[in-house]
Amino acid sequence: MLVNEARTFRKLCQENGIAVTHQRQVLYEVMKTMHGHPSPEEVYAQVKKKVPAISLATVYKNIHLFVESGVFREVSMHHGLAARRDE
């Protein structure tokens, strides 16, 4: 993650009352760079490449945290749920 992106992530977390962790930072970066409306499983597959010890449950929990705090917004599809970054 570039320095400016890391600052942006930390600022978003601070503004939304989210603790900054390495896993959340990687998850945010992956979600920000994925195109379309990825499923949590697709996000998990990409995050796991950078954080091998992460669990699918942790990815789900943090996606929901990001959605609840307004960092991303949820997009419902007939195949499942996805999250999209609010611009």
Q: What is the pLDDT of residue 77?
A: 55
Q: What is the pLDDT of residue 86?
A: 53
Q: In the chain, pLDDT over 70 holds for what percent of residues? A: 83
Distances (CA, A) of 27 to 30, 81, 83: 5, 16, 12
pLDDT band at 83 (very low <50, low <70, confident <90, very high): low
Domain ranges of the chain: 3-85
**Range 3-85 has CATH code 1.10.10.10:** yes
Q: What is the pLDDT of residue 76?
A: 64
**Does the pLDDT at position 25 exceed 70?**
yes
Q: Where is mean pLDDT largest: 6-20, 30-44, 53-67?
A: 53-67
